[in-house]
Amino acid sequence: MDFVIRNILYLICVCFLVTLFYSCSNINEKKVSPKLSGRLGSTTISQIQSAIPVTISRVKPKTKFSSPQELEVLGPVVQFSDSQRNALLNLLLEDNSYQFEFTKKCIFYPEFMIRFGADSKVILLFSPSCNQCKFYTSDGGILLDYGPSKESFADILSL
């Protein structure tokens, strides 16, 4: 009988330790929501998660806008602190931050640019007039509507 109880306790301890290990190892990896994952792809998401530094700047299109290369940077480039970066990732990688049902028929006019990593493998542009943002990678741009969390994004953009 003692042997059985000891084994059960042993099993419970092992389960607890395994759970603890997994939760600690994922502490810096924001769980990505499925809709967003479907749009951006796992590679882009892991690039965003691991990117350091993350910077933000005001921008405007030089003439006709079609890619981040055609933007003029206005003013200083600000680097996110660790806590700011975490807050950004929490917001950015959450399905509830976006709506996926419709697209607004507005012109995308970028006013802010966030660069992820020194090599800027991912660039995120914001067009606040219609609460739209575009993730750029080497594969092109993905447009998203951040209407549901526009206030939180406005706070981040005002850094």
Partner 1 sequence: MWKSLWSKGSFCLAASLLICAVFSCSTLPAADLHTIIVGDTDATDLMPGLKFDVNNMRAESKNIAKYSGLKLKEKVFLGDNSRTSLVLSQLKNLQVQSNDTILFYFTGHGYRTRSKLDNPWPNLFFTFEDYGIDVNDVVSILSDKKARFVLIINDCCNTYLSEAGAPFLAKEMVHGFKATSNLKKNYQNLFLNSRGIIVIASSKIGQSSLCTEKGSLYTLAFLASLDIETKKAPNIVSWQTVLDQATYKVELKAQKYDEEQNPIFLIE
Question: What residues does 10 pair with on adjacent strands?
Answer: none
Q: What character string, x for contact with partner 1 (CB under 8 A) and - otherwise, covers 83-122? A: ----------------x-xxxxxxxxx-------------
Whether the CB-CB separation of 153 and 89 falls below 8 Å is answered with: no
| Pick from 34, 123, 113: nearest CA to 77 | 113
Q: What character string, x for contact with partner 1 (CB under 8 A) and - otherwise, covers 122-141? A: -------xx-----------
Size of the site for partner 1 (CB under 8 A): 18
Assess 75 for contact with partner 1 (CB under 8 A): no
Cβ-based burial of 92 (10 A; exposed 0-12, middle 13-18, buried ≥19): buried
Assess 146 for contact with partner 1 (CB under 8 A): no
Q: In what order do the strands lie in the sheet with 112-116?
A: 71-79, 54-61, 112-116, 122-127, 132-137, 140-145
Dihedral angle at the C-alpha atoms of 60, 62, 66, 71, nearest 10 degrees?
Answer: -50
Closer CB to partner 1, 7 or 67, in the complex: 67
Closer CB to partner 1, 88 or 144, in the complex: 144
Closer CB to partner 1, 87 or 109, in the complex: 109
Assess 69 for contact with partner 1 (CB under 8 A): no
| Pick from 87, 108, 95, 97: nearest CA to 146 | 97
Residues in 12-31 at the binding interface with partner 1, rule: CB under 8 A = none
Footprint of partner 1 (CB under 8 A): 60-61, 64, 99, 101-109, 129-130, 143, 147-148
